[in-house]
Amino acid sequence: TLSGKTAVITGSNSGIGLGVARELARAGANVVLNSFTDRDEDHKLAADMEAEFGVVVRYIAADMSKGEDCRALIEKAGACDILVNNAGIQHVSPIEDFPTVKWDAIIAINMSSAFHTTAAALPMMRKAGWGRVVNIASAHGLTASPYKGAYVAAKHGVVGFTKVTALETAKEDITCNAICPGYVHTPLVDAQIPDTAKKYNMTEEEAIEKVILERQPSKQFATVEQIGGTAVFLCSDAAAQITGTTISVDGGWTAL
């Protein structure tokens, strides 16, 4: 059980981040949710989770594209035993047309934010004598696809930074690992299914199997609960000697 631990999950008002936050709360951790917005519904999400799981859940707005904001998130959390670097965006374009602003935003949000939050969280973990850093990378942290230059570069960067964090904390009760999901069933992916089916003149089932999950041999999406469960495992005693590595949750993608 993670009771008494505080988990900070970046980019956690939807999708994988929210799924991971929910599984950590289910395992007993107090949770800090985050995104760049500061809406009533963000704070309601925290209040609802608090009622559902009986743990303390706060929502703290911070823009993960800004280093100062990343560090401020950890400071405002006040404690950070478990850090999950999850915030991420995507842009798809050939290299020669790739907008520089998109490149910079993806590198900042998907990669550099993990540097800033980790730098702010490690002193707290050291003081507590325990810590777990879980970076949500991607199958694209281990393999590449065309037109995803910034995303693939950032995710490979996250995997590299995961190893460095693990080495710098190796002698302490602190671990750092990356989860590498393949395609995960999130609202974002869900929204692409009808358009993809239309574009290829297929049924939605065919579009999922032949187009969206082309590279996922299981032909099934991973779920946010499965990513959350993997994060909980990485925070467990059974995983205390797992550090500086990646766990793929990709239905066989990287085995191909």
- Least Å from the CB of residue 237 to ligand NAD: 26
Nearer to ligand NAD by Cβ, of 40 and 127: the residue is 40
Handedness of CA 140, 145, 149, 150 (dihedral sign): negative
Is 151 assigned a catalytic role?
Answer: yes
Which of 131, 149, 157, 181 forms a contact with ligand NAD (CB under 6 A)?
181
Q: Does 27 bind ligand NAD (CB under 6 A)?
A: no
Residues 122-151 that bind ligand NAD (CB under 6 A): 136, 138
Contact in structure between 98 and 154 (CB atoms under 8 Å): no
Nearer to ligand NAD, 36 or 233 (CB): 36
Does position 189 bind ligand NAD by CB under 6 A? yes
Stretch that binds ligand NAD, among 15-23, 43-51, 93-101, 163-171 (CB under 6 A): 15-23
Query: How many other CB atoms sit within 10 Å of the CB of residue 43?
Result: 16
Helices marked H in 89-237 — which ranges? 100-106, 113-128, 149-168, 187-200, 204-206, 224-234
Establish if 86 lies at the interface with ligand NAD (CB under 6 A): yes
User: Which of residues 101 and 238 has its CB atom nearest to ligand NAD in the complex?
Assistant: 101
Number of Cβ within 10 Å of residue 201's Cβ equals: 8
From 86-94, 123-131, 194-202, 237-245, span contacting ligand NAD (CB under 6 A): 86-94
Contact predicate 150/109, CB 8 Å: no
Answer yes or no: are the C-beta atoms of 156 and 195 closer than 8 Å.
no
Which residues between 47 and 76 bind ligand NAD (CB under 6 A)?
63-65
From 59, 151, 183, 200, active-site residue? 151
Burial bucket for residue 22 (CB in 10 Å: 0-12, 13-18, 19+): buried
Sequence-separated (6 or more) residues with CB below 8 Å from residue 214: none
Q: How far apart are CA 127 and CA 28, in angstroms?
A: 21
Nearer CB in complex with ligand NAD: 124/180: 180
17 is a site residue for ligand NAD (CB under 6 A): yes
As a whole number of angstroms, the distance between CA 230 and CA 215 comes to 21
Smallest distance, ligand NAD to C-beta of residue 90, A: 7
> Footprint of ligand NAD on residues 31-50 (CB under 6 A)?
35-36
Instruction: Just list the catalytic residues.
Output: 151
Chain residues in the site for ligand NAD (CB under 6 A): 11-17, 35-36, 63-65, 86-89, 109-110, 136, 138, 181, 183-184, 186, 188-189
